[in-house]
Amino acid sequence: MIGRLHQSFTTPINRDQIHSLISDLDMTLNVLQSVANAIDMYGIKQSTVEAREMASLSADACMRLNRAVAALGDKARGEETLNLCKEIEEIETKADRVQQKAITELFKEGANVWQTMKMREFYSLQESVLDCCQDAAKMIEEILIENS
């Protein structure tokens, strides 16, 4: 994508914004891969309610992000795209609360220290996916505002 961006003579959207959005989307994919790798790397054998909820929130945010990117080129869908971005931000806020609850549960008395460390890092990685989705959503909002 970056190569094609630099080969294009003109673009319908500011090049720097396109580059930033591509970078945000790439970071989202990288962090998703890190979450998948962490399951094996940390030897996570059983899921927790919070981990499943974070995964569900991540999937919801990624689907909305996909729809927002797909609609970005259609000016008639600007309001729909902005709403998707706002929904992503709401999902990220909810994920923050789920992560806090999950980490609180990890540090209850009698917890296994190694398991606590592994799951704390895993929850952090899961939440990073949502942070990346939110960053991309903010860039989409910026693009929409500047090009409306």
Domain parsing of the chain, residue ranges: 2-146
Give the residue-averaged pLDDT of 89-104.
97
**Cα–chain-centroid distance for residue 2?**
21
How does residue 87 score in pLDDT terms, banded at 50, 70 and 90?
very high
Region of poorest pLDDT, from 7-16, 51-60, 62-71, 79-88: 7-16
Give the residue-averaged pLDDT of 1-23.
69
Q: Regarding predicted confidence, which is higher, 5 or 126?
A: 126
Give the residue-averaged pLDDT of 81-94.
97
Give the residue-averaged pLDDT of 16-42.
94
pLDDT at 22: 92
Give the residue-averaged pLDDT of 99-128.
91
Of 87, 93, 88, 119, which is closest to residue 104 (Cα–Cα)?
A: 119
Give the residue-averaged pLDDT of 65-82.
92
Q: CA-to-CA distance for 112 and 114, rounded, in angstroms?
A: 6
Which residues contact residue 28 at a Cβ distance below 8 angstroms, ignoring those fewer than 6 apart? 62, 65, 129, 132, 133, 136
pLDDT at 91: 98
For domain 2-146, the CATH superfamily is Phosphate transport system protein phou homolog 2; domain 2 (1.20.58.220)
pLDDT above 80 (res 109)? no
Half-sphere exposure of 130 (CA within 13 A, CB side): 27
pLDDT above 90 (res 7)? no
Cα Rg of the chain, angstroms = 18
Cα angle for residues 17, 23, 27 (degrees, 5° grid): 145
Residues 104, 49 contacting (CB under 8 angstroms):
no
pLDDT at 12: 58
Q: Give the amino acid at 58.
A: S
| Continuous H helices in 8-112 | 15-41, 49-71, 78-106
How does residue 15 score in pLDDT terms, banded at 50, 70 and 90?
confident
pLDDT above 60 (res 5)? no
Residues 147, 81 contacting (CB under 8 angstroms):
no
